[in-house]
Amino acid sequence: MASERSGGGDPVRTLALLWRTPPEPKPVGRKPKVSVDQIVTAAIAVADREGLGAMSMARVAQELTVGTMSLYTHVPGKGELIDLMADTVLQERALSSDGTWRERVKHYADRTRAVYQAHPWMRDVSMVRPPLGPGLMDGQEFVLAALADSGLEPRLVTVAHVAIEGFVHGAAASEVDDQQLAEKTGESGDSWWGARQVFWDDYFDVERYPTMTTLWNAGAYEIEGALADHVRTSFDYGLEKLLDGIEGGMR
Amino acid sequence: MASERSGGGDPVRTLALLWRTPPEPKPVGRKPKVSVDQIVTAAIAVADREGLGAMSMARVAQELTVGTMSLYTHVPGKGELIDLMADTVLQERALSSDGTWRERVKHYADRTRAVYQAHPWMRDVSMVRPPLGPGLMDGQEFVLAALADSGLEPRLVTVAHVAIEGFVHGAAASEVDDQQLAEKTGESGDSWWGARQVFWDDYFDVERYPTMTTLWNAGAYEIEGALADHVRTSFDYGLEKLLDGIEGGMR
DNA sequence: ATTGTTTCCGTATGGCCTACGGAAATGGGG
DNA sequence: CCCCATTTCCGTAGGCCATACGGAAACAAT
């Protein structure tokens, strides 16, 4: 399977689940052993610990000491479950609207980044056909409000929004990728690059890559802390410059 | 499975494959029915047509009318095969270094985007521990050269590089996601959003989302062409503004 | 106790990766 | 011409996965 997808099923059913529309109480019939919330919570727990790849229906059911097929009574399928998981963790952002529009966008970026840190499997969830639940929508509103306050004209607000959203999710995903792989393979990013020392020894061609060579000699690659910090710094820089550009384009 | 990963195996073996170090000619023994190149080409063909999810070892072997296990003689495993595929298609960029540094960065973005368009499965390949082959390295050198020419000091060149690389790959991935899903589910992005009309009717809360409501009323969401075009425009805008910011930060 | 309703879940199908080990092909030396 | 080291080919098997189907089990009301 490629990236885990979602949003495939019946929109009406999925939306009802996302917004937890109370499914009119059933006075008759067997009592449920599990609830949607329990399933989503268990699924998130499994994915947090072992990655989205390990989050199989069987595994989640096991966690709840329930038969695999019981889950299908409460959730249409795996895709929809992932939708629910994603929207749930996005709600953890708890965005507070203080400060200038720039500060708020940065706040949004930080909170979103924190979600990815806490739930690295978010990297594997496509946000192109996103779950239209409260977690996602609240975030959208927050960024749009900040951009609207910036004085950008409406048309540009929507354009800038897509660019920022893309940057933030992309950055958060990249940043987290490293840790995710480290967990999965039991090998840290630094050690992975260390093992590829062979590359610099045996394959790097100084004539083919003059700029890299120059930069190397200029000490531009002497990193202070861990590699992950460097990546993070770079994305902070990128967001800053993106906002600079947007701000500059207004005048 | 989460995103398809790679880069797990023995670095020495993988690097030899990426750079096609000729494995000293074997004078004795049975003649190979397939070569590494044939395997990679077939794998790319399958992934192009049916997605990375369909690119199984069995499927590729079938394509070459060969037993599944024969592939393992030439390629260590699926992860390494994906590395080879990725680096191969990145080589298709054929970057030409004309114009200002900004033009060259944009050229790079466009060519990379084209690769993702032609090979949508690239969305599912993580670029955090990338295949250190010629395709990737040539791209890195190209962007670094452009940034170095911009007059940015060496330290900032590497920082800006990570930011740009993240933006470009992220943008290309997002853009392609839509088409990939369309193919996979047989439903276009526009029709998908159309089916979610229910959301606006039944769940959208005007009081909870005042900015969205205002923007909607201001006509900011009246899109001209297809949704995909709008996304593309937004990323062009984003890259432009990012470069503006970088340029502005130099003075 | 029967009936209607709802939930639980065992089974089965068809897919995936890849470890293992034997069969088949090939060229050189006797 | 036969033998044999060497290399490649590939069948089998084990252990995963999602989910369609249909019957068993639990519960409330009659």
The two three-digit tokens of residue A43, written as one number: 């699924």
pTM above 0.85, yes or no: yes
Q: Residues by CB within 7 Å of nucleic chain D, which ones? A: A 27-31, 54-59, 68-69, 72, 77-79; B 26, 28-34, 66-70, 72-74
Q: Are A46 and A54 in contact (CB under 8 A)?
A: yes
* Closest residue in B to A238 (Cα–Cα): B163
- Taking the C1' atom of every nucleotide in all shown strands and the CA of B1, the nearest one is D17
* DSSP type of residue A204: -
State the Cα angle at B248 between B247 and B251, rounded to 5°.
100
CA of B3 to C1' of D19 (A): 22
Render pLDDT for B67-90 as a digit per residue (tens, 0 to 9): 999 999 999 999 999 999 999 999
Residue B2 pLDDT: 41
Rg of chain A over Cα atoms, rounded to whole angstroms, equals: 22
Residue located via tokens 């250190």: B132
Mean local confidence (pLDDT), B194-219? 87
What pLDDT, on a 0 to 100 scale, did the predictor assign at position B43? Answer: 96
What is the 3 state secondary structure string of chain B?
A: CCCECCCCCCHHHHHHHHCCCCCCCCCCCCCCCCCHHHHHHHHHHHHHHHCHHHCCHHHHHHHCCCCHHHHHHHCCCHHHHHHHHHHHHHHHHCCCCCCCHHHHHHHHHHHHHHHHHHCHHHHHECCCCCCCCHHHHHHHHHHHHHHHHCCCCHHHHHHHHHHHHHHHHHHHHHHHHHHHHHHHHCCCHHHHHHHCHHHHHHHCCCCCCHHHHHHHHCCCCCCCCCHHHHHHHHHHHHHHHHHHHHHHCCC
Structure tokens at A111: 């909170």
pLDDT at A115 exceeding the cut of 90: yes
Looking at the complex, report in whole angstroms how far the Cα of residue B30 sits from the nearest Cα belonging to chain A: 30
pLDDT in tens, B128-158: 778 889 999 999 999 999 999 999 999 999 9
Quick one: pLDDT at residue A198? 77
Gyration radius (Cα) of chain B, Å: 22
Q: Which of B153, B156, B176, B241 to mutate to test the interface with A (most CBs of A within 10 A)?
A: B241
Mean pLDDT of chain B: 87
β-strand partners of B125: B4
Q: Which residues of chain A make contact with B129, given a CB cutoff of 8 A?
A: 177-178, 181, 189, 192
| Chain D nucleotides covered by protein, CB below 7 Å | 5-12, 16-22, 25-29
pLDDT at B35: 94
Nearest to B242 among A3, A195, A245 (CB): A245
Contact B241 A163 (CB under 8 A): yes
Please give the average per-residue pLDDT across B160-180, as a whole number. Answer: 85
| Residues A246, B12: Cα–Cα separation, whole Å | 45
Q: Are the C-beta atoms of residues A78 and A53 closer than 8 Å to each other?
A: no
- Chain B: give the shortest CA distance to residue A30, in Å: 30
3-state SS assignment for residue A4: strand
Instruction: Check residues A3 and B60 and name the one with the higher pLDDT.
Output: B60
Q: A with B: how many residue pairs have Cβ under 8 Å apart?
A: 246
Stated length of chain A: 251
- For the stretch A43-57, pLDDT in tens is 999 999 988 888 999
Nucleotide nearest to A55 (CA to C1'): D17
Q: Do A159 and B132 touch (CB under 8 A)?
A: no
- pLDDT at position B126 is 80
Rounded to an integer, the average pLDDT of A214-241 is 86
- Identify the CA nearest to B42 among candidates B24, B68, B18, B76: B68
